[in-house]
Amino acid sequence: GDSVTQMEGPVTLSEEAFLTINCTYTATGYPSLFWYVQYPGEGLQLLLKATKADDKGSNKGFEATYRKETTSFHLEKGSVQVSDSAVYFCALTTGFSGYSTLTFGKGTMLLVSP
């Protein structure tokens, strides 16, 4: 079956540090890849996505590139802020349209200190 593996947390960084959260996947079909973020007290929000190999998703300064050869979708940000403190989930789907269900990783907590 499909699965997503992401690095264990928490990841603790100082403000303006560089962030990488690793994510690798296995999938039976050709997946679309996502990063979701959950800020304290809020629901999961879609951060970015990529639907085919070599696509780069980006949003709010975060980026991730769909690497089919290494089955990876690592999340990066050049300079983190305290407000980026949250739990980040890597996910995939191999379905289409509204019938697609998501397969998630375990989540990585990011803590950014001033």
Residue 84 three-state SS: helix
Smallest distance from other proteins to CB 69, Å: 22
Q: Is 107 in the site for other proteins (CB under 8 A)?
A: yes
CB atoms within 10 A of CB 93: 19
Binds other proteins (CB under 8 A): choice among 1, 41, 69, 114: 41
C-beta of 14 vs 26, nearer to other proteins? 26
Using alpha carbons, list the distances in angstroms from residue 108 to 11, 52, 69, 92, 95: 7, 24, 23, 16, 25
Q: Is 47 in the site for other proteins (CB under 8 A)?
A: no
Residues at the interface with other proteins (CB under 8 A): 4, 32, 36, 41-46, 49, 51, 89, 91, 93, 96-107
